[in-house]
């Protein structure tokens, strides 16, 4: 009854990934793209993505140091930025590999300076000002002292202040404008202290695309390069999802119209997605329930094992995009893709 069908698969288009990167780079020029690759390149798989992008992209964002080291090993000559506050031994590995570090606390600044001193290697740091998000970053009141310490370490040959950065809440234009003003004050203070940071970066996908006046010399962009639009946001011209999630039919009751597909909650498909319409060879059909390893589709009399459904993708078969699924359950498209477990195969195709 149940054939040894292939399992659920994320089918990824190499061509679309490069096309998105191109569209993003054109849009943000002359700002430089930092391609953000955290969470295993947003669930698409890090290694192939670095291989694909490295001819076009010279600056990568790895979030944590282990991820950044993987990128650096695969893209010799590229610059890699790691902004997770990390332990001393990781900082030392980062300095060895030439990974640039985001520094959002005075304590971490001192740790990086100490590591540079021990290794006899200059650290390249990007100082982070907290412009209101209050997640990570130095508050304006601690900024002058941190900048003075960084400038002194630069004069001592221990580090270069290569950048100043922050992260926007993107909750409202007014808040983002206030954050940008705070950011400009922070940059001015760094210049007054004698440093000349070349990389100024504040914006991620949405603000980089829609708020050109907030772009710095660098834009940190993940989502749009993978074709994931913002929740409740519009389609982005020239940007398409690069991946489609497929699952095989593993059982069907003939004329009854009910089919069972081989994907479920344990593959990372939120069970709250029940009710969504997915693409089948017969057209859009309702996903009625999501169990641990399988799910049910209703109203599909011709279903037969070996056929394949598409749960999300670029829409060529009418399937929703990942963000449309996310909107149903109050989350973001990134979450839908990054939750998929390693049990979901990743297949990268040229087309």
Ligand X SMILES: *Cc1c(COP(=O)(O)O)cnc(C)c1O
**Site of interaction with ligand X (CB under 6 A):** 36, 38, 83, 167, 204-205, 220-223
Structure-token pair, residue 78: 């590229």
Closest distance to ligand X from the beta carbon of 165 (Å): 8
Closest distance to ligand X from the beta carbon of 351 (Å): 25
Residue nearer to ligand X on the CB measure, 9 or 338: 338
Structure-token pair, residue 214: 């907030």
Give the span between the Cα atoms of 309 and 285, in whole angstroms.
10
With beta carbons less than 8 A apart as the criterion, state whether 230 and 323 touch.
yes
Residue nearer to ligand X on the CB measure, 83 or 312: 83
Residue nearer to ligand X on the CB measure, 154 or 205: 205
- Give the contacts of 10 (CB within 8 A, at least 6 positions apart): 43, 44, 243, 244, 245, 246, 337, 340, 344, 345, 346, 347
Residue nearer to ligand X on the CB measure, 133 or 284: 133
Structure-token pair, residue 168: 């926007």
Residue nearer to ligand X on the CB measure, 83 or 300: 83
Closest distance to ligand X from the beta carbon of 204 (Å): 3
H/E run at residue 36: strand 32-36
Closest distance to ligand X from the beta carbon of 339 (Å): 15
Closest distance to ligand X from the beta carbon of 83 (Å): 6
Give the span between the Cα atoms of 268 and 245, in whole angstroms.
11
- What's the burial of 269, exposed, middle or buried (CB within 10 Å: 0-12/13-18/19+)? buried
Residue nearer to ligand X on the CB measure, 105 or 307: 105
With beta carbons less than 8 A apart as the criterion, state whether 34 and 28 touch.
no
Closest distance to ligand X from the beta carbon of 181 (Å): 19
Give the span between the Cα atoms of 127 and 186, in whole angstroms.
10
């Amino acid at each position: 009854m149940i054939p040894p069908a292939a399992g659920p698969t994320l089918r990824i288009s190499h061509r679309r990934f490069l096309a998105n990167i191109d569209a993003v780079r054109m849009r943000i020029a002359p700002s430089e793209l930092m391609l953000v690759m955290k969470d295993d390149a947003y669930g698409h798989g890090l290694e192939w993505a670095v291989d694909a992008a490295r001819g076009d992209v010279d600056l990568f964002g790895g979030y944590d140091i282990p991820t950044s080291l993987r990128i650096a090993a695969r893209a010799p000559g590229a610059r890699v930025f790691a902004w997770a506050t990390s332990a001393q031994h990781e900082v030392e590995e980062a300095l060895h590999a030439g990974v640039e570090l985001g520094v959002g606390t005075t304590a971490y600044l001192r740790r990086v300076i100490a590591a540079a001193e021990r290794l006899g290697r200059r650290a390249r740091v990007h100082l982070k000002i907290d412009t209101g998000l209050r997640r990570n970053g130095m508050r304006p009141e601690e900024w002058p002292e941190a900048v003075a310490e960084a400038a002194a370490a630069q004069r001592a040959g221990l580090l270069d202040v290569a950048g100043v950065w922050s992260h926007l809440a993107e909750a409202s234009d007014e808040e983002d404008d206030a954050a940008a003003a705070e950011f400009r004050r922070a940059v001015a203070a760094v210049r007054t202290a004698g440093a000349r940071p070349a990389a100024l970066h504040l914006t991620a996908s949405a603000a980089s695309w829609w708020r050109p006046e907030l772009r710095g010399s660098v834009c940190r962009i993940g989502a749009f390069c993978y074709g994931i639009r913002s929740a409740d946001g519009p389609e982005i011209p020239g940007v398409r999802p690069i991946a489609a999630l497929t699952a095989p039919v593993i059982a069907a009751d003939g004329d009854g119209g009910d089919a069972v597909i081989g994907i479920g909650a344990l593959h990372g498909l939120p069970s709250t997605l029940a009710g969504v319409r997915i693409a089948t060879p017969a057209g859009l059909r309702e996903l009625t329930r999501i169990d641990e390893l399988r799910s049910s589709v209703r109203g599909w009399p011709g279903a037969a094992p070996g056929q394949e459904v598409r749960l999300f993708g670029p829409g060529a078969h009418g399937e929703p995009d990942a963000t449309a699924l996310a909107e149903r359950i109050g989350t973001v498209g990134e979450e839908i893709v990054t939750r998929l477990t390693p049990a979901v195969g990743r297949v990268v195709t040229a087309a």
